[in-house]
Amino acid sequence: MSDDDPLGLVVPLFDEAARVREFVPELVAFIDARPVGSQLIFVDDGSRDGTLEAVGALVRASGTRRVRTLRRPHLGKGAAVAAGLGALEAPLRAFCDLDLATPLDDLLRIVAVGARPGVLAIGSRDLAGSSLVRPEAPSRELLGRAYNRVLQAVLTPGVVDTQCGAKAARAEVWNALLPHAREPGFAWDAEVVALAARFRFRVAEVPIAWSHDPRSKVRVLRDGVGMLRAIPRIWRRHRGSGPASATVAPEIFDIANAERLLESDRTHWWFRSKAAFVATALLRTEPASGNRGRLVDAGAGAGGVTALLGWSADEVTVVEGSAALVARAVDQHGLSGVQGSVNALPFAPGSLSVLCLLDVIEHLDGPVAALEEARTALAADGRLVVNVPAHAWLWSAADEALGHRRRYTRKLLTQHLRAAGFEVVVLTHVFSWLVPPVWLARRVVRPAEAALGLDQVSPLVDRASMLLTWGERQLVGRLSLPIGTSILAVAVPA
């Protein structure tokens, strides 16, 4: 998001007279601090308790000229948000809830990602980098997770949280989506996310620090039933809609495999699991100061995994040899990017806090040179994260298609890291539960095929994989697993 881009913000209201004094002044101050042309619209969804009058009094007292109010009949939150977004003129548009369950600092991060062309940015409570400052009651949380699981199976595969209540995109994205989003109530968010995916806009989840307000207007049973009933309605309405996706030219290996990887790098369970393992390893090795610094992901492809690590987008840089992949990381994920090589990193010596080489060095004939380059770029207290494929006995045609030179053992990876001047602080196999099916697929069922496993995308496989990943994440940084399809290491300069 450019510092000069005006922002239009919508806040829906319904019988909020008891809460407006608590939150309206903060929202007004927020929009007054944005660039010229920014505007805040409070949309009243047919309140009966004097909400709009109370808001009007607070706005007049503030003296601002950037706030409007819009009164509508009571149709539902979705209809109110849609009306507000349609009434804005700013090129960048967002909405959030009155109770600021998504903090305004996090809203700015969502807006920064949504400023990228063709992106719908949404806050997410369920990413590795998210946190629950004030969680819901266990029953509400359980029902909310169940609802999201159903959504992922039917409407929004790969999107873990559609209902956070804070979303942002450019005007052209909203203009494409709003005419087709017809749900008037709380299911509107899910419909918008489903539409964005079908229209081939990038749905980018942004980690947030979320606080539940017990005064929330969502009634679990009544509204939950209504949201569930909307799912088949939305599916029937939009199945098969949306234009064909644009093709991104690959730069690394086989065209078909590259395109499939680029389309899956943020949604497929394997990539999401990989990001979760890396994020957990970083969390467990975080410095006592809590100052995480800048993260650089070298050889990051299009940045899909990088965007899931829980780092603020303005503190992340992607390095890739392909200009097309750098452009995609910038445009689709809101990351900064630079064209470069892992053997010649474009950074000053000692300038990096975290450097990731995720499934990179197995492609190199001589990986120690790249690791030495990483050692030079890292600060004295920096961290290197390396992920590599494991077990030579899993070698198959898929490794050849991916351009692998080797599959690693923990001993070999440790030797390479030490030769480059690193001390290993975390070393473990991951994806231990994936070894039996991968062995069967590569050595017994389809030994001659270069299958990548990206076809394994059923809702059951997705749910089971993420559950197993959650269990294994509890061990990362605490126990070294002896088997797994990958090896994950965190190393520090010796």
Of 238, 267, 300, the position where a domain reaches its end is 238
Q: Are 232 and 261 within one domain?
A: no
292 within some domain: yes
The answer to whether the CB of 386 falls within 8 A of the CB of 454 is no
- Cβ within 8 Å of residue 406, ≥6 positions away: 362, 392, 412
- Cβ within 8 Å of residue 333, ≥6 positions away: 113, 116, 119, 202, 204, 266, 302, 303, 304, 306, 307, 313
pLDDT at 247: 32
Q: Are 214 and 269 within one domain?
A: no
Q: Are 93 and 155 within one domain?
A: yes
pLDDT at 242: 47
Measured CA to CA, the distance from residue 305 to residue 274 in angstroms comes to 8
- CB-based burial label for 45 (10 Å; 0-12, 13-18, 19+): buried
From residue 480, give the alpha-carbon distance in Å to each of 54, 358, 422, 449. Answer: 58, 19, 18, 32
Cα angle 205-209-210, degrees, rounded to a multiple of 5: 90
pLDDT at 434: 92
Q: Are 369 and 226 within one domain?
A: no
The answer to whether the CB of 53 falls within 8 A of the CB of 60 is no
DSSP 301-325: TTSTTGGGS---GGGEEEEES-HHH
Per-position pLDDT tens, the chain of length 494: 555 789 999 999 999 999 999 999 999 999 999 999 999 999 999 999 999 999 999 999 999 999 999 998 898 999 999 999 999 989 999 999 999 989 999 999 999 999 998 899 999 887 777 776 676 666 666 666 677 778 777 788 878 888 888 999 999 999 989 888 889 888 899 999 999 988 888 888 888 887 766 666 565 556 667 778 888 888 887 765 444 333 333 333 333 444 445 555 667 888 889 999 999 999 999 887 777 788 999 998 888 899 889 888 878 999 988 777 888 888 777 888 888 888 888 888 899 999 999 999 998 888 999 999 999 999 999 999 999 999 999 888 778 878 888 999 999 999 999 999 999 999 999 999 999 988 887 766 554 454 545 555 577 888 888 899 999 999 988 899 999 999 999 999 99
223 within some domain: yes
Q: 4: closest CA among 76, 75, 64, 92?
A: 92
Of 181, 203, 238, the position where a domain reaches its end is 238
Cα angle 189-176-27, degrees, rounded to a multiple of 5: 50
Measured CA to CA, the distance from residue 274 to residue 279 in angstroms comes to 9
CATH of the domain at 195: 3.90.550.10
Q: Which residues is 95 bridged to in the sheet?
A: 10, 167
Of 205, 238, 271, the position where a domain reaches its end is 238
- Cβ within 8 Å of residue 100, ≥6 positions away: 23, 26, 27, 211
Q: Are 200 and 280 within one domain?
A: no
Q: Are 234 and 293 within one domain?
A: no
Q: Are 345 and 438 within one domain?
A: yes
Overall number of domains in the chain: 2
Q: 271: closest CA among 146, 387, 150?
A: 387
Domain limits for position 111: 7-238
Q: Which residues is 123 bridged to in the sheet?
A: 206
pLDDT at 256: 40
351 within some domain: yes
2 within some domain: no
CATH of the domain at 467: 3.40.50.150
Q: Are 313 and 419 within one domain?
A: yes
389 within some domain: yes
pLDDT at 456: 59
Q: Are 320 and 391 within one domain?
A: yes
- CB neighbours of residue 155 within 10 Å: 24
The answer to whether the CB of 93 falls within 8 A of the CB of 31 is no
pLDDT at 381: 92
DSSP 348-382: -TT-EEEEEEES-GGG-SSHHHHHHHHHHHEEEEE
pLDDT at 266: 65
**What kind and span of H or E run contains 273?**
helix 269-284
Q: Are 31 and 132 within one domain?
A: yes
- CB neighbours of residue 236 within 10 Å: 8
- CB-based burial label for 37 (10 Å; 0-12, 13-18, 19+): middle
The answer to whether the CB of 327 falls within 8 A of the CB of 335 is no
Q: 9: closest CA among 77, 74, 78, 66?
A: 66
246 within some domain: no
- Cβ within 8 Å of residue 71, ≥6 positions away: 44, 46, 52
57 within some domain: yes
Q: Are 193 and 319 within one domain?
A: no
pLDDT at 257: 42
pLDDT at 455: 55
Q: Are 148 and 278 within one domain?
A: no
346 within some domain: yes
- CB neighbours of residue 65 within 10 Å: 9
pLDDT at 281: 95
